[in-house]
Amino acid sequence: MNKNLHIDTLCVQAGYNPGKGEPRQVPIIQSTTFKYETSEQMGRLFDLEENGYFYTRLQNPTNDHAAAQITAMEGGVAGMLTSSGQAANFFAIFNICQAGDHMISTTSIYGGTYNLIGVTLPKMGIEVTFIDQDASDEEWAKAFKTNTKLVFGETLSNPNVRILDIERIAGIAHAHGVPLIVDNTFPTPVNCRPFEFGADIVTHSTTKYMDGQGVQVGGAIVDSGNFDWEQYHDKYTCLTEPDESYHGLIYTQAFGKAAYITKATSQLMRDLGSIQSPQNAFYLHLGLQTLHVRMKRHTESALKVAQYLEQNPDIAWVRFPELENDPEHARQQKYLPNGSCGVMAFAVKGDRTFANKFMDSLQLVTIETHVADCHTCILHPAAHTHRQLSEADLLAAGIDPNLIRLSIGLEDPQDLINDIANALEQAKNR
């Protein structure tokens, strides 16, 4: 598809181009397996000598359309879907980082990812260094080791909406000969395309805005194709040396810029099996087609609510990058000029009991684990999503224990403001 098309057009049309008489909407290929005429044809597929579908755990046409669409929207060269955002981040890391290796992650990341990287990956023999994303160049330099394989961060962090200085961190990663992997879930490629600032690989929890209605859990990985694995041949032997599980195939030689995604699909997905169901990929594809319209509305409504909270005497503080006084505002202008997303963080004045009373008094805004879909929802990370983190971990991740995360949906923003105002009044009298 034409590379010069605008993101709105890519949202609607990329990834699927039906021929004469074929369905206009992506069909759901709800089949585990695919038929072949000869045993030799099938053998060639298993040797990755021919491209084709043979088993849905590795590849399925419905999934591939959605993956191709996200890839086009991000401006990448190859992409894949996974069963969840967690699986996407795990695969993205584990594809190039194994027992005995080391990776660096910023501290401002989603609690589930923090656990994955800080608890589960070390159990698999991967050593991790966490660092504040705005640490000095000297501190960043100290974090690297000879066996460091990658740097990981979130474009717009969940839940404290900090913006990663992608250009700077990509520069630091590249100076040390490793790629930067960025979780771009919150802004989506509608509001930020991290490859344009030097990130190498992007991941998504498609469960969030991409789906948009809160109906399916899913993830995606997209490769920019820009990181030169062969330049660091000895560091990335998993891509540059023969894979014995494919009769000595060398991914970089056989697949060029698609080496990283081909390995993740044909090796990790084959062995670990975290495929997205074709039915879910269909829902995802539907969601992507309206993403540009929804993101605009989410960000506009969120700004109205954030402005209301900012001037409310019952609110201790509010963090939303579009607010002119927000510490991330300059970075928002650079990386997210069309808006960040619908998520903001704030704290009410008063103790935890008052905060709970306030949340319990809301009528339209619902208490939910979820974030970033059409329904406005609220959550207290220290008590919910980030519950596994100690108070020290929370503070290290820049998360105030009083922080309340508010995700603005597609309702009328004035109705949401009225709901918040009523709940604050009721909490005072409860």
Part in contact with ligand PLP (CB under 6 A); list of ranges 84-92, 220-228, 249-257, 355-363: 84-92
Part in contact with ligand PLP (CB under 6 A); list of ranges 81-89, 266-274, 326-334, 409-417: 81-89
Q: Which of 16, 91, 110, 236 binds ligand PLP (CB under 6 A)?
A: 110
Least distance (Å) between residue 161 CB and ligand PLP: 11
Q: Among residues 408 and 424, whose Cβ is nearest to ligand PLP?
A: 408
Residue 112 touching ligand PLP (CB under 6 A): yes
What string marks each residue from 184 to 223 as x (binds ligand PLP by CB under 6 A) or -? -x-------------------x-x---------x-x----
Residue 158 touching ligand PLP (CB under 6 A): yes
> CB count, 10 Å around CB of 142?
12
Write the DSSP string, 115-173. HIIIIIHHHTT-EEEEE-TT--HHHHHHH--TTEEEEEEESB-TTT--B--HHHHHHHH
Q: Among residues 84 and 265, whose Cβ is nearest to ligand PLP?
A: 84
What string marks each residue from 298 to 327 as x (binds ligand PLP by CB under 6 A) or -? ------------------------------
* Amino acid, single-letter form, for residue 426: Q
Q: Give the DSSP H/E element, type plus range, for residue 413.
A: helix 413-429
Residue 85 touching ligand PLP (CB under 6 A): yes
Q: Which of 59, 71, 86, 188 binds ligand PLP (CB under 6 A)?
A: 86
Q: Which of 91, 39, 80, 36 has the alpha carbon at shortest distance from 58?
A: 80
Q: Among residues 249 and 339, whose Cβ is nearest to ligand PLP?
A: 339
Size of the site for ligand PLP (CB under 6 A): 15
Q: Give the DSSP H/E element, type plus range, for residue 378.
A: strand 377-379
Least distance (Å) between residue 256 CB and ligand PLP: 29
Q: How far apart are CA 5 and CA 238, in angstroms?
A: 35
Query: Strands of 315-319's sheet, edge to edge?
Result: 315-319, 343-348, 404-407, 377-379, 366-367
CB 64 within 8 A of CB 190: no
Part in contact with ligand PLP (CB under 6 A); list of ranges 109-117, 143-151, 174-182, 223-231: 109-117
CB 345 within 8 A of CB 380: no
Residue 155 touching ligand PLP (CB under 6 A): no
Site for ligand PLP in 395-424 (CB under 6 A): none
Q: How far apart are CA 311 and CA 175, in angstroms?
A: 44
Residue 276 touching ligand PLP (CB under 6 A): no
Q: Give the DSSP H/E element, type plus range, for residue 174.
A: helix 166-175
Least distance (Å) between residue 233 CB and ligand PLP: 31
Residue 252 touching ligand PLP (CB under 6 A): no
CB 178 within 8 A of CB 150: yes
Part in contact with ligand PLP (CB under 6 A); list of ranges 64-72, 83-91, 138-146, 172-180: 83-91
Q: Which of 115, 2, 206 has the alpha carbon at shortest distance from 389?
A: 115
Q: Which of 59, 69, 108, 113 binds ligand PLP (CB under 6 A)?
A: 113
Rg of the Cα trace of the chain?
Answer: 22
Q: Which of 46, 35, 9, 8 has the alpha carbon at shortest distance from 247?
A: 46
Q: Which of 64, 165, 183, 326 binds ligand PLP (CB under 6 A)?
A: 183
Least distance (Å) between residue 54 CB and ligand PLP: 27
Answer whether the bond into residue 159 is a cis peptide, omega within 30°. Answer: yes
Q: Give the DSSP H/E element, type plus range, for residue 366.
A: strand 366-367
Part in contact with ligand PLP (CB under 6 A); list of ranges 18-26, 78-86, 233-241, 408-416: 78-86
Q: Among residues 216 and 262, whose Cβ is nearest to ligand PLP?
A: 216
Q: Which of 199, 165, 163 has the alpha carbon at shortest distance from 179?
A: 199
Q: What are phi and psi of 102, to 5 degrees?
A: -130, 145
Least distance (Å) between residue 307 CB and ligand PLP: 24
Part in contact with ligand PLP (CB under 6 A); list of ranges 82-90, 117-125, 221-229, 284-292: 82-90
Part in contact with ligand PLP (CB under 6 A); list of ranges 107-115, 135-143, 327-335, 413-421: 107-115
Residue 75 touching ligand PLP (CB under 6 A): no
Q: How far apart are CA 65 and CA 32, in angstroms?
A: 17
Chain contacts with ligand PLP (rule: CB under 6 A):
84-86, 89, 110, 112-113, 154, 158, 183, 185, 205, 207, 217, 219
